[in-house]
Structure formats: structure tokens, C-alpha cells
Amino acid sequence: MNVGFIGLGAMGREMAAQLLKAGHQVKVWNRSPEPVAALVAQGAEAAATPAAALAGEVLVSMLADDAAVESLLLDEVLLAAATITVHVNMATVSPELARRAAELHQRHGIGYLAAPVLGRTDVAAAGNLSILAAGEAALVDRVAPLFAAMGRQTFRLGERPELANVAKISTNFLLISAVEALAEATALAEASGLAATDLLEVLTGTLFPGPVYAGYGSMMAARSYDPAFRLALGLKDVNLALDAGAATHVPLPIASVLRDALLEGIAHGDGGLDLAALGETARRRAGAA
């Protein structure tokens, strides 16, 4: 399949690489040139401008936030000039943006799918992402080979694209809640004389097995926070949850606590660290940092 790919951050570059490995023709664009050069070395073609990446059959985008999607892809001129017939937006954006994007694409005769993903960069590099897809069923069928290259499973969440974004925002809200609770429990254990590694062994061996507690707990215990899901992106997602809650009149009191914890971590210079750095915020509150 002839694919344009816009947005080569930590996740996007791994996803584009999986498309190349699967034999798709991929034309890539990114603000910074380094990931473009790396993918060109793997067989991709560089696009000189975002518009140049819209010359294939399908556009896949993995941009940081609503503002980036607005500025790069929702310009009427760009869409009017595009030859693509389907745009797959795999970023975590607001449901409101997804609704407006779907309407704008429809006016230009372009299909629009929302397909945010679950998984960190190592999961993307292995082609094992979980893809949350929503939009016209025939379009999902059409791009299924791309999803198969990038992920191990695709969840079909209906014909309204914004529902995929609701699912992603809800999932990330729950994930960040779990990490914050784990951070507080770890701080309590350490302040009481119990090693974080011993608490983690109990948690993952009994009530809380699985990658969330094992992965984030190990990072907290080791106090090693190489960025994958940065605190700053966690704050973006919590704010998306709060905005969605306000729009639907759903109170999210825990989200307000998470927002403040993330802001506190960012204020202490941790915004570029992994979400597990919430453990440092909890330690600071306990006077143990």
C-alpha cells in the first residue's frame, strides 16, 4: 500500500518502520529531520512538506496533540489538495477534534478514521500495539493490512471516530490513576521501612499482576525514568479526560488529583521523565526525595 506518514516521534518512527518491514511504500514527514533520515535508510521516501506526504492512497498521522493536528492537517487547502482517500489519525486527541476532523474530511470526500494505540515504544518496535479503531467499517477493512503490520490486535469501536479517542482517553486516565496510587503506596512502604522491591514482589505476585504494576513499579523501585510515556504527555491526557468530563457532565474527581500531581512533578523538572516519575513526586511529599 502507498502510505504517507506524518509525525515521527518516539512512537511514530517505530510504527512507520513496521510498515516498511511489511513491504508498504512509505513517504514520511517530520518537523525534525533525524527520524526522517533514519527511516529513509530503511527504505522510506522523504516528503519535503506535509502536503507532499498526502500524495499516496492513505495518510497515517501520529502527532502530539490537537494543536499539531489542527496546524498541519486540518487546513482546508491541504485537504483540498490531497490525493489520499483515507486519513488514519493515530494520535491521542480530543473527541471534539475527532468530530470536527471527520466532518471536514467528509466535505472533501476523504475518509477519516481515529485509531489511537495502546503500548509503549518497545511494544511499537515489536509491532505489538493494540489499536483502537473507529469510523466507517469499510475504511477499517481497507487499512487492516496497515493495522496488522503495526499491532497485534485491533478493537473496532463503532462508526463514530471520536469513540476511539474516548476509549484511549478513558484508558490512559485509568492507567495514570494506577501509577499515582502505586507511587503513593511505594512512598508509604519506604517511609515505613519496607523496600520498594519487596512491596512490588507482593503486589505483582498476588492482587496486581501484569505489565502496569510490574513495569512502572520496577522503574519506581530503581528510580530510573527513561522517557517512554512522559509526564508532560500524561498531563495532556488527564486534561483531555477533564475536558471530556466537562463536556458530558461527568465528574472526574480523581482526574483533578492526577492533574495536580503531574503539575507538581513538572514544576520540579520531571516533565521529560517517564510517568513512573510520579514516584518521585510521592517521595517528595513524604519528605524522602
Residues involved in catalysis: 168
Nearest to 113 by CA among 70, 38, 180, 58: 58
Nearest to 265 by CA among 256, 275, 255: 275
Instruction: Give the Cα separation of 38 and 243 in Å (integer).
Output: 37
Rg of the Cα atoms in the chain: 20
Residues forming a β-bridge with 29: 6
